[in-house]
Amino acid sequence: MNAGDAEALGVVTQLVDQTGVDAALESMISQGRVDKYAPRVLPARFKPFERAFSSDNLHRMLSGLPPVDVPEETAEKILKALRHKAPLALLAASEIIDGQVEVGIEEGIALELGRIQEMFLTADALEGISSAGKKRPEFKGK
């Protein structure tokens, strides 16, 4: 993700060059805290990714199938990236993120911590840890 995309998505509140950092910080401090949970409109160029990572499409992609209602080129790029990731970890991350949408920070952290033991007891976790720095892990979804 580049800086412009991060700003468009609301991950970054302001882009400045190096000479404008001090002034930007002063301005941000004077404006007070930004509500990072405020509703935002997703820019149109990111809509295919939103569709690709819907619950139904995520399950399709973790099964090796392309997402539906997503441009073919975008779907191919996503599938290529996901091919080398641990499917159980991706599914758990998606479930955790979905569960955190309507809860506070404490509950969100509890959701994450509640899944750690489950994730580290998988064969995929062992494969990922044992292959670090040696070879590309071969995840089995177990």
The Cα diameter of the chain in Å comes to 51
HEC sequence for the chain = CCHHHHHHHCCCCCCCCHHHHHHHHHHHHHHCCCCCCCCCCCCHHHHHHHHHCCHHHHHHHHCCCCCCCCCHHHHHHHHHHHCCCCHHHHHHHHHHHHHHCCCCHHHHHHHHHHHHHHHHCCHHHHHHHHHCCCCCCCCCCC
Residue 60 has pLDDT above 90, yes or no: no
Is pLDDT of 128 > 80? yes
Judge whether residue 116 has pLDDT over 80: yes
What pLDDT was estimated at residue 15?
92
Q: Which tens digit of pLDDT belongs to each residue from 11-24?
A: 888 899 999 999 99
Tens-digit pLDDT profile for residues 78-93: 988 888 888 888 888 8
Q: Are the beta carbons of 137 and 127 closer than 8 angstroms? A: yes
- Cα distance between residue 137 and residue 85, in whole Å: 8
Q: Is the pTM of this model over 0.75?
A: no
User: Does position 110 have pLDDT exceeding 90, yes or no?
Assistant: yes
Render pLDDT for 22-47 as a digit per residue (tens, 0 to 9): 999 999 899 888 887 778 888 999 99
